[in-house]
Amino acid sequence: MKIFKEKVLAGVAALFLVMSFQSQAALEGYNSCSGATSCLIAPEDTALPTSISANPDDGKLVSWNEQQNVTLENNLYIDNVADPTASYIGKDANGTYIKAGTVISSHYVQWDGIKGTEGQLVKAQLDFDGDVMGFISSDSGLAATDSLLGLGGLEYLDFEFRGLESNDKIKFGVGGDASIVDIAWKAYTPGDWARVITAYTPLIASAADLAPVSVPSTLFLFSVGLLGLRLRNGWSTPA
């Protein structure tokens, strides 16, 4: 009986571990980061901002996940494309876009230098759990996608020079890995912001399948299952 109880407790712990994957970031972390006072992922390392507003003036590079595994109903225009030859990429008179029907995830990156500085440079390597498709880095592109891809409950203010400048650099597919990107951004007033678009992220998708099942119901089903067992794994710049 004692052994069975231990198995149940271990199983319950494992279940909570699996369920915790729902909040696991699709941005896995920074492989390197220099030039900032700190490089953080919200909400794991720091609180999410209450709003996106000009001049954070904190010297921090902060990233967070936005909407995940969204099936595009319309073409999504991007400013910087990782692979122009990819099957999900199209182009028309309005620019380059990710085709409707593609499943994408969105992530937001914010950088501003310490108050009183201009042109403070941050260099960082960001590692995602899905291939990077491209960046939305223009003022108009960010404003046009806030409602579709922005994080619920976070106010995205629209202001001039919100996006990246021409001297801000992005390098896709670092080391042959499509999920890794290098950035080198110089922050001028009011700061730098960009939306990173990645491919379908299977970890979050599989964890989301658990969402419709309440915790008590899931634990009950899990315990019943255990009882049954007892009985019988290149650089680019903004456009």
**Contacts with 149 (C-beta within 8 Å, 6 or more apart), sequence order:** 66, 67, 70, 106, 195
Higher pLDDT, 97 or 237: 97
**Annotated domain spans of the chain:** 1-25+205-232, 27-200
Q: In this model, does residue 231 exceed pLDDT 50? A: no
User: Rounded distance, CA 127 to CA 117, Å?
Assistant: 28
Give the model's pLDDT for residue 173: 97
Least confident of 87-101, 129-143, 219-233: 219-233
First to last CA, the chain: 66
Specify the pTM: 0.76
151-204 per-position pLDDT tens digit: 999 999 988 999 999 999 999 999 999 999 999 999 999 999 999 999 986 655
Give the model's pLDDT for residue 116: 86
